[in-house]
Chains A and B, each alone.
Chain A
Amino acid sequence: MTSAHLDYLLRLADNPLILGQRLSEWCGHGPVLEEDLALANTALDLIGQARLLLTHVATLESKGRNEDQLAFLRSEREFRNWTLVELPNGDFGRTVMRNFLFSACQLHLWQALQGGPDAQLAAIAAKSLKETRYHLRHAADWVVRLGDGTGESHARMQAALDELWPYTAELFSADPVEQAAVATGLGVASASLRAPWEATVRPLLEEATLAIPAPTPFLSRGKLGVHSEHMGHLLAEMQIMQRSHPGAQW
């Protein structure tokens, strides 16, 4: 088991883990009960996917660590999630906009990974794909409803898109870890996901009457372990129980 292989799997695990943590912040704070349930359910699915993937990593690395230790005892630089998923939720519109951009990418990623040579990863991908379809449909409906809604909701959705769009470049950028994973057949070249992702998101954003921002040179580097200033705060909240009471269970 090479470290590049493990690093690649950690990326796959950390994205749903961190977004699941972010979405769980909505629990009890949703704008209406139905959406509170929807975001909490989505968070549960994402954390469930992360648990499967982290357990897979723990098994492969055979260092005696388990899913909990990987989630709660790694430091900020050891996390491999895209910066996009660690950004604060913002308002409900921004939260569903991120879910939309993220789920659309995950849809194509899981599709590509379900036929891969790592049988456990393929099984997790096939399972996660089904859940992702529901997440994407839910987010897409809201992006259209709010984007093509009132002047206020439209303005907020456009602001959310303007702010989040630059962070999507990272989802499709290549680096040595990914190249190594692609070379062994384990991974997918994320650049190849860009066209199908755009084919999913562009028509929907147009239906939502939103203008797609022009490309910028900005490239976030969360998957390399270089995170935004928000990541430390997120981890503080996520990890405090295990850090304060190591091995605590309930």
Chain B
Amino acid sequence: MLTEAQAWRVLAQVPDPEIPAISVTELGIVREVRHENDALTVVVTPTYSGCPATEVIEAAIRAALREAGAQDVRIETRLFPAWTTDWLTPAAAQKLRAYGIAPPQPPAGAQPLRFVPPAPPCPRCGAKHTERLSEFGATACKALYRCNACREPFEYFKPL
């Protein structure tokens, strides 16, 4: 039988399938772990409604906990409060940058239309002069930018 603390440590090693540089706990989607009638229940809040990784993440969580000795693993989806990039841990921001993805920067939430969000600094060279190439990237959570100093394109984890 896995304790809740042990389960958290296991989950901290489960990588996000799309961005394997960070774990599901660093992504902030694991909201709660609890024992309930001999079963281990993991409460997950999905990122975007259309994120195709959601089901893969659930399978990975289940597999990792079973391997660590949990018998009965249940995944509970909690929609409210909705996931926000504010739940990314400080360590996640560092790891994203090292992986070549600019971490989200405020402001998240409602903005007037035609608002151009401030461009993130380049995760490679740190230059502030970057430009947006595309509002959407390879996954729903990212946008595509280019650094005007080192000319490298990079992905930006959008604030949500």
Contact = CB atoms under 8 A, between A and B. Distances in A.
With most chain A CB atoms within 10 A of its CB, the pick from B49, B83, B134 is B49
Nearest to A130: B160
B140 A34 contact: no
B44 to A, nearest CB: 13
B111 A41 contact: no
Contacts of B82: 123, 126-127, 130
B76 interface: no
B86 to A, nearest CB: 12
Interface string A91-121: 0000000000000000000000000000110
Contact of A140 (B113, B134, B136, B137): B113
B79 A38 contact: no
Q: Is the interface of A mostly helix, strand, loop or mixed?
A: helix
Interface in A115-138: 119-120, 122-124, 126-128, 130-131, 133-134, 136-138
Contacts of B110: 133
Classify chain A's interface size.
35 or more
Interface in B107-129: 109-111, 113-115
Contacts of B115: 137
A140 B49 contact: no
B112 to A, nearest CB: 9
Contact of B114 (A34, A37, A42, A144): A144
A144 B158 CA distance: 23
A48 B99 CA distance: 28
B20 interface: no
A21 interface: no
Given A126-B82, A127-B82, A134 B158 contact: yes
Interface in B71-87: 79-84
A61 interface: no
A130 B113 CA distance: 14
Contacts of B140: 41, 44-45
A181 B79 CA distance: 23
A115 to B, nearest CB: 12
A47 interface: yes
B17 interface: no
Contacts of A140: 113-114
A133 B111 CA distance: 8
B79 A37 contact: no
Contacts of B81: 126
Contact of A48 (B50, B135, B144): B50
A141 interface: yes
A234 interface: no
A119 B80 CA distance: 9
A38 B135 CA distance: 7
A44 B50 contact: yes
B80 A131 contact: no
Contact of B49 (A37, A52, A141, A200): A52
Given A48-B49, A48-B51, A138 B136 contact: yes
> Which are the 4 A-B pairs with shortest beta-carbon distances?
A48-B49, A44-B50, A34-B134, A123-B80
